């Protein structure tokens, strides 16, 4: 499930992802981000990932497809999770994201206020 966080404002969007993300949810999420992109040209996102967060194959493919086509519209991505795999993926992806002009950073859940501060800078 994807839920927009109440702290979202303007070009700064926050989401919480729990459980399995369906293709329908993925499309609604993409639609919400595209809406902000139309208004602000570039957006930053903070994503809180629960331990159970995962994507179905179709939703995952849709996510990758959209991301590769819209990288220039993303400014910052903050991933908040205590799972080490997300920390490692951000570290591995960091150089590629920077080439695309995206600043990406991982935060532990107890540092969510720091993540919001960073994403708003």
Q: What pTM does this model have?
A: 0.85
Q: How buried is 74 (Cβ within 10 angstroms: 0-12 exposed, 13-18 middle, 19+ buried)? A: buried
Residue 1, CA atoms < 13 Å, CB-side half-sphere: 4
Q: Is the pLDDT of residue 37 over 90?
A: yes
**CATH code that applies to domain 2-120:** 3.30.750
Average pLDDT over residues 31-35: 93
Rg over CA atoms, the chain: 13
Q: Give the span between the Cα atoms of 50 and 56, in whole angstroms.
A: 15
Q: Strands of 31-120 (E only): list them.
A: 43-49, 54-55, 74-80, 103-107
Q: From residue 41, how far is each of 18, 63, 109 by CA, in Å?
A: 28, 19, 29
Q: Is the pLDDT of residue 60 over 70?
A: no
Average pLDDT over residues 101-113: 91
- The structure tokens listed for 105 are 């950073």
Where in the chain are the domains? 2-120
Supply the pLDDT for residue 5.
97
Residues 6+ apart with CB under 8 A from 67: none
Length of the chain: 121
Q: Is the pLDDT of residue 100 over 80?
A: no
Q: Give the span between the Cα atoms of 9 and 46, in whole angstroms.
A: 11
Please give the share of the chain, as a percent, with pLDDT higher than 70.
82
Q: Is the pLDDT of residue 13 over 80?
A: yes
Q: Is the pLDDT of residue 111 over 60?
A: yes
Average pLDDT over residues 36-53: 92
């Amino acid at each position: 499930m994807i839920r927009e966080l109440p702290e979202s404002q303007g070009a700064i969007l926050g989401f919480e992802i729990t459980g399995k993300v369906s293709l329908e949810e993925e499309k609604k999420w993409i639609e919400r981000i595209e809406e902000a992109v139309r208004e602000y040209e570039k957006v930053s996102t903070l994503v809180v990932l629960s331990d159970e967060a995962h994507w179905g194959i179709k939703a995952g493919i849709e996510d990758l497809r959209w991301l590769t086509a819209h990288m220039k519209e993303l400014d910052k991505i903050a991933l908040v999770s205590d799972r080490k795999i997300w920390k490692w993926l951000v570290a591995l992806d960091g150089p590629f994201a920077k080439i695309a002009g995206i600043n990406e950073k991982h935060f532990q859940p107890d540092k969510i206020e720091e993540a919001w501060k960073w994403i708003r800078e």
